Amino acid sequence: MEKVALGFKEAADASNTSHWTWRRLADQGLVRTINLGARRLIPRDEFERVMREGAGKHRSGKGGSCI
């Protein structure tokens, strides 16, 4: 059975990035998260969207994706 949401570590492992990258994107509002008890999770469809489209623009403002 496929998970409906991923923790920051699981998202990092699946995308070959740091869990801090995912947490920072979530804190900036670039990645939608849900709370399940004390856990903050990334819904599977949001993870797939970020992997497909990227999460937002670079700080330089020149476009592109953070991930």
Note if the pTM is more than 0.85: no
Which comes out higher in pLDDT, residue 42 or 60? 42
Rounded distance, CA 28 to CA 62, Å? 18
Rounded distance, CA 50 to CA 25, Å? 10
Query: Token digits for 55?
Result: 């999460």
User: pLDDT category, 45, cuts 50, 70, 90?
Assistant: very high
Per-domain residue ranges of the chain: 5-53
User: pLDDT category, 54, cuts 50, 70, 90?
Assistant: confident
